[in-house]
Amino acid sequence: MKKKISSFQMFLLMFQMILSSSVLLMPSITTMLSGKDMWMTPIFSMLVGYLTVWVAFKLYKLAPHGSFVKLLESSFGKVIGKGMNILFIIFQVHIIAIATRDYGEFIVTNFYLKTPVYIIIISMLILCAWVVSGGIEVLARTGQVFIPIITICTLFIFIFLIPELDPSTIFPMFEKGAAPVFKGSVVVAGWFCQIFLVIYILPYVKQENTIQKWGYICVTGIGLLMLIANITVFMLMSESASFYNYPVFTAARYIAYAEFFEHVEAIVMMVWVLGEFFKISFYYFTIYLSLSETLELQKPVVIILPIGLLLLLSTFWLAKDFQMIGDFISKSGTLYILTGFFIFPLVIYALTVIKQRLKA
Amino acid sequence: MKRRMIRAMLCGLLCWSVPLLTSCWDRVEVNDIAIIVGAGIDQMDGKQVKLSAEIYIPVESTGEGQESGMKAGNGNGKTFVSSAAGSSMAEAMYKLQERLSRKLYWGHNDIFVIGQARAEHGIEDDLDFILRYVRMRERANIYISEGSAVDVLGIIPRLEPNSMEALSELSKTEISITVDLKEIIERIVETPDETYAIPYINRGKLLTDVSHVRNPNVPYFRGMSLFKKGKMNGNLNSDLTWGYFWITNQIKGNTIISLKMPEEQTLAVLLTHSKTTLIPSITPDGKWKMKIKVRGEGNLLQNTSSLDFMNPAQHKAMIKKTNEEVEMSIRQALKVLQKKYKTDVLDFGDRFRKLAPKQWQKEKKNWSTMFSEIETELDVEINIQRPGILNQNIKKMNRVNN
């Protein structure tokens, strides 16, 4: 396997992969769960992020040739290992199908009212399929070009809102004790744990010794941006934030300077489309990679388009309407995703270590 | 061979992207839309609601005949008003669309005017539609009008191109404020009884005799209308609105305080800067108290009173009189808000929530009664710093020389 990307590129990809959907959706859900203390939820969830990066790196070191797929097969036997791999792939398909559908719903709700949602999803998936067929290097370089632009645009939205903010809204702190903050943090942790997918691209990273460092920087960076987003949204619209489906979008619509610098919400759309492009491409890539390794394909490129078709169909199988997506993301989805991306790796790690101890 | 295949594929992809990039379904041409610059909502007989839209006319109309068939405003304005009624806002909008050849476009709408009858009936239905419909903007300002809203929209003012401009410019002056949709939804969520205040306006014609006023066709600011549980329950007139502004720290610079003086004396102060702080406290025996602390600075604008600015003792008396005047207007506003309407538009609830979160959770259920019983304490200090150009008052100059 060739070493192709730098650890900085890895950092950028993971950074955007997690932020893309979270910034837009998270403030609403956390306000609903944590009330006035919603802004501090990312701080606690970052711990889950750090732990996930650590586990991912440890598993990578244990794995033969650094492949997570091979690790499962070698630790649990071929049949069980392959079964677990297939299950994990289906899990990823499920998660990304929800994210893709949510992307489509956002665009249709706010911008393309009359365009059918499948057109938006199909065009995105075709683009992603193209990138995935180009390989991880293409994806990483695309990220190097676009991710800084996305981040700067996002920050600009928050900077423009500064004059409208009222810092006193965040008081009183811990109004209903610490329990609501914990509830909100669990939901945010559901985003952080997705960083586990980094394990699939670790074999491609050139400088192995800096992986952990950049991994932790990545979690910190994500946490900071989430914190900025949360604080800005809450100081702008306080508890009413939970009643908007996309509070950051509403906040961007609120920007107005000198009666002509208005209507900048198109920036949010650009950020969202580009961000989701990286998220979907990344998942697409990991699904493609793990599936081709599990099935031990000679010519893996042939499965790219079938995977795309599977993703497309899953987006419509999984949810009938916005109600189902919203309910899944804010309720059952959190525990589901934490089980897959946080508890599952921890268990695998524990079992592998115990098995090695017993052998020795 | 392979390279050729890829090239062919790329070419195909390029061609295929052409129909996709036009975004055919949502294509909107500028000459297909009717840009709404202001909207009015009125109560009709029997649960019907009337939606009026002030629509921008893209080409300057040459004759008034072009507007026949519409409920037109003044022909020389660049906007016209069209309206339709329905059982809900959504239905009214649909009916309004039927009457127009172009598609209604809400993206530039900055003003909602709600007629008093509608406001008293309840505006929650309308707010739900306005906030839910994706083309609306949270920054749009809301006004309540005396009489019907469609009359205010129909105004073609002299100084501004249309009534929407007139209203938004009016709100920037020191006698008025703006309240936008975002603030209203915030207050609905945060206050226990959904209490908020919205600027109250009327059109000049109702205010004065047309023959005496040069410019009757402008909206006038008349105070604030108070809302509780989605319904308008009262009004603050201009004088009481001063008190409301003082308490909520919304007094702007350039405000003039004109003192009530005995006989024919006058004394007026031009405020340059002011700040109001609300300090809540709960006494040991469980009484809720609010201290209203006002600090300000101003310059003398007019003085024909017996008080001399340059005399230290009289300067103090002058300041005392100013403070009393401000205290008076605050007291009056407090009395009306606390005792008559029992409507907390002053943010007192939020202050107590920050002071004592636990007690607030218990008391917020019957906040209206609690609010009416809060003891208030005033602490006003407005300093008069400069006398202006003259240092003596006109009536006294003569005596000084002799």
Domain-located, residue B23? no
pLDDT of res. B210:
46
pLDDT of res. B212:
47
How many C-beta atoms surround the C-beta of residue A199 within 10 A? 25
Task: Say yes or no: B224 and B267 in one domain.
Answer: no
Tokens linked to B76 = 């020389």
Domain-located, residue A105? yes
Q: What confidence tens digit (pLDDT) does each residue in A262-294 have?
A: 778 788 888 889 999 999 999 999 999 999 989
Domain-located, residue A346? yes
Calculate how close chain B gets to A242, using CA atoms only, in Å: 10
Domain-located, residue A2? no
The verdict on a CB contact (< 8 Å) between B139 and A243 is no
Q: Which residues of A touch B137 (CB under 8 A)?
A: 253
pLDDT of res. B200:
87
Tokens linked to A8 = 């900085």
Q: Which of B112, B143, B146, B147 is nearest to B130 (CA)?
A: B112
Site from A118, A238, A243, A250 to mutate, B interface, most B CB atoms within 10 angstroms: A238
Q: Distance between CA A276 and CA A114 in Å, rounded?
A: 21
Q: What confidence tens digit (pLDDT) does each residue in A110-119 have?
A: 888 888 888 8
Q: Distance between CA A123 and CA A119 in Å, rounded?
A: 6
Q: Which residues of B touch A243 (CB under 8 A)?
A: 185, 189
Domain count, chain B: 2
Kindly report the CA angle at A246 between A243 and A249, in degrees rounded to 5? 125
Domain-located, residue B33? yes
Task: Say yes or no: B262 and B194 in one domain.
Answer: no
pLDDT above 60: residue B211: no
pLDDT above 70: residue B174: no
Find the CB nearest B138 among A119, A168, A250.
A250
Secondary structure (H, E, C), chain B: CHHHHHHHHHHHHHHHHHHHHCCHHHCCCHHHEEEEEEEEEEECCCCCEEEEEEEECCCCCCCHHHHCCCCCCCCCCCEEEEEEEECCHHHHHHHHHHCCCCEEECCCCCEEEEEHHHHHHCCHHHHHHHHHCCCCCCCCEEEEECCCHHHHHCCCCCCCCCHHHHHHHHHHCCCCCCCEHHHHHHHHHHCCCCEEEEEEEEEHHHHCCCCCCCCCCCEEEEEEEEEECCEEEEEECHHHHHHHHHHCCCCCCCCEEECCCCCCCCEEEEEEEEEEEEEEEECCCCCEEEEEEEEEEEEEEEECCCCCCCCHHHHHHHHHHHHHHHHHHHHHHHHHHHHHHCCCCCCHHHHHHHHCHHHHHHHHHHHHHHHHHCEEEEEEEEEEEECCCCCCCHHHHHHHHC
DSSP state of A201: T
**Residue B209: which pLDDT band, with cuts at 50, 70 and 90?**
very low
Show which of B236, B262, B296 is a domain's final residue: B236
CA A207 to chain centroid, in Å, comes to: 24
Calculate how close chain A gets to B120, using CA atoms only, in Å: 24
Task: Say yes or no: B223 and B270 in one domain.
Answer: no
Kindly report the CA angle at A322 between A316 and A326, in degrees rounded to 5? 110
**Residue B159: which pLDDT band, with cuts at 50, 70 and 90?**
low
Mean pLDDT in chain A?
Answer: 87
pLDDT above 80: residue B202: no
Type and span of the H or E element at A103: helix A78-110
> With pLDDT > 90 as the criterion, what percentage of chain B qualifies?
0
For residues A316 and A310, the answer to whether their CB atoms sit within 8 Å is no
Show which of B186, B219, B236 is a domain's final residue: B236
* Contacts by residues A43-46 (CB-CB < 8 Å, ≥ 24 positions apart): A43/A223, A43/A227, A44/A181, A44/A182, A44/A185, A44/A188, A44/A189, A45/A185, A45/A186, A45/A188, A45/A189, A45/A191, A45/A192, A45/A223, A46/A192, A46/A219, A46/A220, A46/A222, A46/A223
If you average pLDDT over each of A2-6, A70-74, A127-131, which comes out highest?
A127-131
State ipTM: 0.76
Domain-located, residue B20? no
pLDDT above 70: residue B363: yes
Domain-located, residue A1? no
The total number of residues shown for chain B amounts to 402
Q: Distance between CA A113 and CA A120 in Å, rounded?
A: 11
**Which of these ranges, A61-65, A87-91, A158-162, A283-287, has the smallest mean pLDDT?**
A61-65
Q: Which residues of B touch A171 (CB under 8 A)?
A: 354
**Residue A309: which pLDDT band, with cuts at 50, 70 and 90?**
very high
Q: Which of A345, A325, A332, A31 is nearest to A199 (CA)?
A: A345
Could you tell me which residues come within 8 angstroms of residue A314 by beta carbon, excluding any fewer than 6 positions away? A93, A94, A97
Find the CB nearest A253 among B137, B188, B190.
B137
Task: Say yes or no: B218 and B331 in one domain.
Answer: no
pTM of the model: 0.83
pLDDT of res. B401:
59
**Which of these ranges, A192-201, A269-278, B65-74, B302-311, has the smallest mean pLDDT?**
B65-74
For residue B111, report the phi and psi dihedrals to the nearest 5 degrees.
-135, 130
Q: Distance between CA A353 and CA A342 in Å, rounded?
A: 17
pLDDT of res. A64:
81
pLDDT of res. A239:
84
Place of tokens 């057109």: A119
The verdict on a CB contact (< 8 Å) between B26 and A238 is no
Task: Say yes or no: B48 and B194 in one domain.
Answer: yes
Domain-located, residue B263? yes
Q: Distance between CA B244 and CA B238 in Å, rounded?
A: 10
Task: Say yes or no: B263 and B227 in one domain.
Answer: no
Q: Distance between CA A57 and CA B22 in Å, rounded?
A: 45
Q: How far apart are the first and last CA of chain B?
A: 114
pLDDT above 50: residue B61: no
pLDDT of res. A217:
93
Residue A276's domain comprises 7-359
Q: What confidence tens digit (pLDDT) does each residue in B133-151 have?
A: 877 778 888 888 888 888 7
Q: Distance between CA B370 and CA B131 in Å, rounded?
A: 31
For residue B56, report the phi and psi dihedrals to the nearest 5 degrees.
-75, 135
> With pLDDT > 70 as the criterion, what percentage of chain A qualifies?
98
Segment B104-131 mean pLDDT: 86
DSSP state of A259: T
The verdict on a CB contact (< 8 Å) between A111 and B26 is yes
Task: Say yes or no: B268 and B374 in one domain.
Answer: yes
Place of tokens 């003082």: B246
Domain-located, residue A153? yes
pLDDT of res. B68:
41
Residue B330's domain comprises 239-402
Task: Say yes or no: B132 and B216 in one domain.
Answer: yes
Task: Say yes or no: B200 and B258 in one domain.
Answer: no
Q: Distance between CA A63 and CA A74 in Å, rounded?
A: 9
Type and span of the H or E element at A337: helix A332-338
Show which of B202, B236, B270 is a domain's final residue: B236
Q: What confidence tens digit (pLDDT) does each residue in A125-178 have?
A: 999 999 999 888 899 999 999 999 999 988 988 898 888 888 888 877 777 778
pLDDT above 70: residue B72: no
Domain-located, residue A118? yes
pLDDT of res. B30:
77
More confident of the two residues B158 and B209: B158
pLDDT above 60: residue B60: no
Task: Say yes or no: B400 and B252 in one domain.
Answer: yes
The verdict on a CB contact (< 8 Å) between B25 and A243 is no
pLDDT above 50: residue B69: no
pLDDT above 60: residue B81: yes
Segment B171-180 mean pLDDT: 74
Q: What confidence tens digit (pLDDT) does each residue in B252-306 have?
A: 776 777 777 777 778 888 888 888 888 888 888 888 888 889 888 888 888 877 7
Mean pLDDT in chain B?
Answer: 79
Q: Omega before A172 cis (within 30°)?
A: yes
Segment A209-236 mean pLDDT: 91
pLDDT above 50: residue B75: no
pLDDT above 80: residue B73: no
Domain-located, residue B77? yes
The verdict on a CB contact (< 8 Å) between B186 and A239 is yes
Tokens linked to B300 = 């003398």
Domain count, chain A: 1
Task: Say yes or no: B304 and B365 in one domain.
Answer: yes
Domain-located, residue B3? no
**Which of these ranges, A82-86, A208-212, A316-320, B392-396, has the smallest mean pLDDT?**
B392-396
**Residue B204: which pLDDT band, with cuts at 50, 70 and 90?**
low
pLDDT of res. B225:
87
Calculate how close chain A gets to B74, using CA atoms only, in Å: 26
Q: Which residues of A touch B189 (CB under 8 A)?
A: 238-240, 243
For residue B62, report the phi and psi dihedrals to the nearest 5 degrees.
-90, -35
Q: Distance between CA B183 and CA B139 in Å, rounded?
A: 9
Task: Say yes or no: B230 and B243 in one domain.
Answer: no
**Residue B23: which pLDDT band, with cuts at 50, 70 and 90?**
low
**Residue A207: which pLDDT band, with cuts at 50, 70 and 90?**
confident
Tokens linked to B125 = 């239905």
pLDDT above 80: residue A209: yes
Q: Which residues of A touch B185 (CB under 8 A)?
A: 237, 240, 243
pLDDT of res. B76:
46
The verdict on a CB contact (< 8 Å) between B186 and A175 is no
The overall longest dimension of chain B from CA atoms, in Å, is: 114
For residue A267, the domain's CATH number is: 1.20.1740.10
